[in-house]
Amino acid sequence: MDNLKTNNIMDDFNQIKSVVQADSNKVDDLIRDNLNTDVALISKVSEYIINSGGKRIRPLIVLLVSHALNYKKEMHINIAAIIEFIHTATLLHDDVVDSSKKRRGQETANIIFGNQASVLIGDFLYSRAFQMMVKLDNMKILKVLANTTNTIATGEVMQLINVHDSTINEDDYLQIIYRKTACLFEASGHTAALLANANEDQKTAMIEYGKQLGIAFQLIDDALDYNSSSETTGKNLGDDLAEGKPTLPIIHAIKNCDNNEKILLQTAIENGDLSKLPIIQKIIRSTKAIEYTALRAQEAANKAIMAINRIPDSKYKNALIAIANYSVDRKS
């Protein structure tokens, strides 16, 4: 499938975000307001992770979709903040489960504050998100977000079950990344469409847009783990391998290399062994696993763009298209 880039839209992430900058500032203010608590450690850890350099793409989708569907009120600010709290909670829990040491170029919260604080403050952010959901007084949106948090949890468990499993296939892996990552992107588009009282066609379009964008985003993360540097990605090269996670580049390489190479790759996944990372990278290059992963990501990004063809043209729609293009072109 050809790349569906267009020539008249933003090509810089800050330019994309500027389309709804005033709304983004309101989301930041609401996030800070809802981090206020009389327990100092909660505020300290929450501020650290919230301010650690994330691009807040998921809440940005909420804002852009709301405007693209001509929503005129202010409740999209609340949904964007809720989505960011859910995402941040998953990061805190993920880093503990994965024993991660670095994220976005900084030490993870579990390294600085400890695993116990990270887990409990992740729980605080989840519960704060649900308090904010109740205030929306919209059962359809509450149902989507409740189902999404449950789906994320099942995805995390599925990934845990498959750690060090060198036999996982591509279809199973795509199911994991849908649950673990893409479903929150999907919920960002879905809840904004519900808020805007979109028709069924538009709602379906925004659900598909979010889902495919999330898949594209995760697949590029997979590729960068074997084809970038810690300075670029903000995490250590080969982290997925060290954690025994069989991501798409490894899955594709195992399927397409010779038997000796297959044994080496499977052993590395089964043992979380980084000692042969240069050889593993060479096998990944020889099997064109990075190119294959990037191709699958591009296919998903194209599907996301095609999904929103059915909504009216606007600068907000252009920004959504630009995010899809950004998701596959980024270097970090």
Residues 6+ apart with CB under 8 A from 248: 170, 173, 219, 222, 223, 289, 292, 293, 296
Judge whether 125 and 168 are in contact, CB under 8 Å: no
**What local confidence, expressed as pLDDT, does residue 9 receive?**
47
| Weakest mean pLDDT among 109-118, 216-225, 232-241, 307-316 | 232-241
Model confidence pLDDT, tens digit, residues 170-211: 999 999 999 999 999 999 999 999 999 999 999 999 999 999
More confident residue, 228 or 30: 30
pLDDT at 98 over 90: no
What ranges do the domains of the chain cover?
13-329
**What local confidence, expressed as pLDDT, does residue 280 receive?**
93
CA distance 57 to 14: 11
Model confidence pLDDT, tens digit, residues 142-158: 999 999 999 999 999 99
Percent of the chain residues topping a pLDDT of 90: 69
95-120 b/e with 16+ CB inside 10 Å = b?
bbebebebbeebebbbbebeeebbbb
| Weakest mean pLDDT among 22-26, 227-231, 257-261 | 227-231
User: Three-state SS for 152?
Assistant: helix
Question: Confidence class of residue 11 from pLDDT cuts 50, 70 and 90?
Answer: low
Per the structure block, which two tokens stand in for 272? 């979380």
CA distance 27 to 88: 14
**What local confidence, expressed as pLDDT, does residue 6 receive?**
47
pLDDT at 306 over 50: yes
pTM of the model: 0.91
Pick 13-329's CATH classification: 1.10.600.10, 1.10.3720.10, 3.40.50.620, 2.40.50.140. 1.10.600.10
Nearest to 215 by CA among 235, 239, 186, 193: 186
pLDDT at 233 over 70: no
Nearest to 65 by CA among 191, 245, 192, 169: 192
Distances (CA, A) of 18 to 25, 199, 210, 315: 10, 27, 20, 11
Give the number of C-alpha atoms closer than 13 A to the C-alpha of residue 232, restricted to the C-beta side.
12
DSSP for 47-84, written as a single string: HHHHTS----HHHHHHHHHHHHTT--SSHHHHHHHHHH
Torsion 3-211-223-289 (CA) sign: negative
Nearest to 112 by CA among 171, 57, 48, 59: 48
More confident residue, 55 or 204: 204
**What local confidence, expressed as pLDDT, does residue 311 receive?**
94
